[in-house]
């Protein structure tokens, strides 16, 4: 282990802690933070981050895991594990990175929507989206409306290729 390296804070471990808390019954983010604190205590390591940062990390994971259908709302800020969540936890008891969730269409749609809203800061996002839609409607790569060797031309091609890679076009 390197100085400042805390394996207990890696995403797979945090995912496992959150899923186990949800599997034990209605849990909240505070339960997840408490489990992490207990893991650090068992390792005789200080908790390297303030509670607000730990809570924020679990909140982000909660959002992702809920979007993938692994968690369901139990009311009052609590959540439980779904059947899908139990299956995934049983297959990966030590956790997993959230990129594994891309196999679920609803998670893929969530990521696409989240990333699209962030892409609006890019002036070329419109050309990318046009290319993506063009591939969805069956347009050929040679039907790119932009002047070759321009940023818009490349952005349109990237959107078209992305749709094709996802099997949409």
pLDDT at 3: 52
- Residues 4-10 have a mean pLDDT of 76
pLDDT of residue 16: 96
pLDDT for position 119: 46
DSSP bridge partners of 73: 79
Residues 6+ apart with CB under 8 A from 116: 125, 129
The structure tokens listed for 146 are: 């932009």
- pLDDT tens per residue, range 70-85: 999 999 999 999 999 9
The mean pLDDT of the chain is 88
pLDDT of residue 34: 97
Lowest-pLDDT range of 55-59, 114-118, 135-139: 114-118
Among the four given CATH numbers 3.30.9.10, 2.60.40.10, 3.40.50.150, 1.10.10.10, the one describing domain 7-101? 1.10.10.10
pLDDT at site 120: 55
What global pTM score does this model have?
0.68
**Where does the pLDDT of residue 33 fall: very low under 50, low under 70, confident under 90, or very high at 90 and above?**
very high
Domain range list for the chain = 7-101, 120-165
Residue 118's pLDDT band, with cuts at 50, 70 and 90, is very low
Crossing angle of helices 105-119 and 51-67, in 10° steps, is: 120
């Amino acid at each position: 282990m390197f100085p400042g390296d805390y394996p207990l804070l890696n995403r797979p471990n945090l995912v496992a802690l959150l899923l186990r808390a949800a599997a034990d019954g209605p849990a909240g983010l505070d339960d997840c933070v408490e489990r992490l604190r207990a893991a650090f205590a068992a390792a005789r390591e200080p908790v390297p981050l303030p509670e607000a940062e730990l809570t924020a990390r679990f909140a982000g994971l909660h959002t992702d895991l809920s979007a993938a259908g692994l968690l369901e709302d139990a009311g009052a800020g609590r959540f439980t594990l779904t059947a899908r969540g139990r299956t995934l936890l049983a297959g990966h008891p030590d956790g997993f990175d959230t990129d594994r969730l891309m196999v679920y269409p609803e998670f893929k749609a969530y990521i696409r929507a989240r990333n699209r809203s962030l892409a609006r800061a890019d002036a070329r996002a419109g050309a990318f989206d046009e290319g993506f839609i063009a591939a969805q409607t069956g347009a050929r790569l040679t039907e790119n409306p932009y002047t070759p060797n321009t940023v818009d031309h490349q952005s349109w091609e990237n959107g078209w290729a992305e749709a094709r890679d996802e099997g949409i076009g």
